Amino acid sequence: MNYLSTRGDTAPRNFCDILLEGLAPDGGLYLPDHYPQVDAATLARWRDMYATQGYAALAFEILSLYIDDIPAADLKALCEKTYTPAVFGTREIVPLTKLHDASTSSARTDFYLEALSNGPTLAFKDMAMQLLGNLFEYELARRGEQLNILGATSGDTGSAAEYAMRGKHGIRVFMLSPHGRMSQFQQAQMFSLQDENIHNIAIEGVFDDCQDIVKAVSNDLAFKRQYKIGTVNSINWARLLAQVVYYFAGYFQATRDNGEKVDFTVPSGNFGNVCAGHVARMMGLPIGQLVVATNENDVLDEFFRTGVYRVRGSADTHETSSPSMDISKASNFERFVFDLLGRDGARTRLLFHDALASSGRFDLSADPAFGQTRERYGFVSGKSTHADRLATIRDVFEQHGVMIDTHTADGVKVARAHLRPGVPMVVLETALPIKFAATIREALGRDPDRPPRFDGIEKLPRRVRVMPADAQAVKAFVAQQCA
């Protein structure tokens, strides 16, 4: 499989060439040069395989279509090492929970939650990051290289990266987070890690300050090269690819027969998760609608309703109770637009490079392509507010006895507006409620359930260094750790 850039650079690259990279050199995002098509016989075989051999076997089948520069036996071993019941808690890895919904008129629609949050950090990012950790370790060993991962997090990404990379050979992680601003549980999760290759840096500032420091360090090309600085952000193709697998696994669990369709609703921020759904659909998985759910930060909902994509300034980015969806622009969205425009790299570049730089927006409302977002690609959208989240958390708990987190609540709220008779709806559960306890208390007047393995985690010794919002200080620390 060859990979190309959404901005027109078609120099052929293999999977492992782009594995450790972020953006393409022309500023675009990497995509495979085609989507392998899954025919009826293959889909039938995969359904059986998931049921009898499990998730890792299914993952290997799907990944093999996109990765031809890792020997099959090695790739299989990496999948088996990653997707084990010991790490993800169940044999299915991503089990469905059926909600029998009495509150809507669509009693004929099966409504499911797909659990993606039973990995080490209780958010769906583990699904991809755990694989990435194993792929990175494998590829770095093969090349005899080292990597220092520098990242900024407001919570879920940083902890998922640290738990994926802890103890891995050839890898160090330097993770910046805004001092005192993550939830107590998230701080405890990250700062209690004692692994020598994991470095928590709490920056005296807000999340944007952390991100600015990462950019400043990455823009110092000499430093970046000398210290082999890399990232694990959500534009990484390997992360997206890993996420394609659970759309197949969700589909097989929600249906009996491959003639049926399923709709998915995805709580969305940077468009990484739902973009994996788009890829699964392009491969031929019978997905009807892909419902994009946003919170008050509705950049994506606005686009799918109006055809206008308008990035927000930091002043119009809301801090919400579903913080992992608080984005000002959706960094993976360019991938979908590239497909929507018939893979016209020059036009994608005009929109994402020129138009966004000059006016912060582009408008496809009058373009025939925009009409295809729903008809041809299945995309619809909706948004949710703090009041919606509270009401939805309460309602799902009272009616079904199931406690959902704030992000999943945004999904359930929006999904309910898009139910179709006879078409199962699967909402991706992106985190567990314990990560966002304050809002659960506000909604339900009680504490969220805590998986027993996290008992007392707030009392564990912490390994974190507090630093001013200063790129020089961070660079000096990185240099000292690598000496």
Ligand X SMILES: *Cc1c(COP(=O)(O)O)cnc(C)c1O
Q: Which of residues 394-413 bind ligand X (CB under 6 A)?
A: 407
Stretch that binds ligand X, among 141-149, 265-273, 369-377, 440-448 (CB under 6 A): 265-273
Q: Residue 287: beta bridge partners? A: 262
126 three-class SS: helix
Catalytic residues: 125
Tokens of 352: 């994402």
In single-letter form, the type of residue at position 397 comes to F
Task: Tell me if 267 contacts ligand X by CB under 6 A.
Answer: yes
Q: Which of residues 269-288 bind ligand X (CB under 6 A)?
A: 269-273
DSSP line for 342-407: TS-HHHHHIIIIIIHHHHSEEE-TTSHHHHHHHHTT-EEEEE--HHHHHHHHHHHHHHH-----HH
Q: Residue 361: beta bridge partners? A: 310
Q: Name the residue nearer to ligand X (CB basis): 54 or 250.
A: 250
Q: Name the residue nearer to ligand X (CB basis): 197 or 406.
A: 406
Stretch that binds ligand X, among 52-60, 201-209, 262-270, 463-471 (CB under 6 A): 262-270
- The b/e string for 120-129 (b: 16+ C-beta within 10 A; e otherwise) is bbbbbbbbbb
Task: Tell me if 189 contacts ligand X by CB under 6 A.
Answer: no
- Kindly state the smallest distance separating residue 170's Cβ from ligand X, in Å: 26
Site string for ligand X, 204-243 (x = CB under 6 A): ------------------------------x---------
- Kindly state the smallest distance separating residue 119's Cβ from ligand X, in Å: 12
Site string for ligand X, 97-136 (x = CB under 6 A): --------------------------x-x-----------
- Kindly state the smallest distance separating residue 271's Cβ from ligand X, in Å: 5
- Residue 252 CA to residue 213 CA, distance in Å, equals 43
Torsion of CA 288, 399, 324, 293, to 10 degrees: 30
Q: Name the residue nearer to ligand X (CB basis): 54 or 267.
A: 267
Length of the chain: 483
Instruction: Report yes or no: 310 and 299 within 8 Å, Cβ to Cβ.
Output: yes
Q: Of 7, 17, 11, which Cα lies nearest the Cα of 67?
A: 17
Tokens of 148: 């220092």
- Kindly state the smallest distance separating residue 431's Cβ from ligand X, in Å: 3
Task: Tell me if 430 contacts ligand X by CB under 6 A.
Answer: yes
- Per DSSP (E only), the strands in 25-170 are 30-32, 96-99, 111-115, 147-152
Q: Which of residues 143-162 bind ligand X (CB under 6 A)?
A: 156
Q: Name the residue nearer to ligand X (CB basis): 118 or 430.
A: 430
Q: Name the residue nearer to ligand X (CB basis): 278 or 407.
A: 407
Residues of this chain that interact with ligand X (CB under 6 A) are 123, 125, 156, 234, 267-273, 324-325, 407, 430-431
